[in-house]
Amino acid sequence: MSEELEMLDEYEPVVVDLDGEQFEVIETIEFEGKMYAALTPYTEEDELDGDVEFIILEVIDDPDSEQCTLKTVDDEELYTKIGDEFMKVFTEEFDEE
């Protein structure tokens, strides 16, 4: 088995519960000194065929514990800029495959 296939077999999604709904963290980036996560609704099946819609939340680390808090990005202009950065990352990853 190739290393790539072994990595796929070992993939464990990062799933978070937001108000009773489960979301999968599909990517994180640092933008203007802050960390952000792109999340999509979680399903156990691989349904990422085509356009994937995602939400962006700011990741705030809690220095007193190993947990973090996810916060909405209320500034529409900032949200758009971060979304553009995520799209660049997704495009680069897709081009590498």
Beta strands in 6-78 (DSSP E): 14-18, 21-31, 34-41, 55-61, 68-72
Provide the pLDDT for residue 34: 96
Strand pairing category for 55-61 and 34-41: antiparallel
Q: What is the pLDDT of residue 71?
A: 94
- For the residues 17-26, what does the mean pLDDT come to? 91
In the predicted model, what is the mean pLDDT of residues 58-69? 85
What pLDDT score does 51 carry? 64
19: left (phi over 0), alpha (psi -120 to 50) or beta: left
Structure tokens at 81: 């800029």
pTM of this prediction? 0.77
User: In the chain, what are the domain boundaries?
Assistant: 3-96
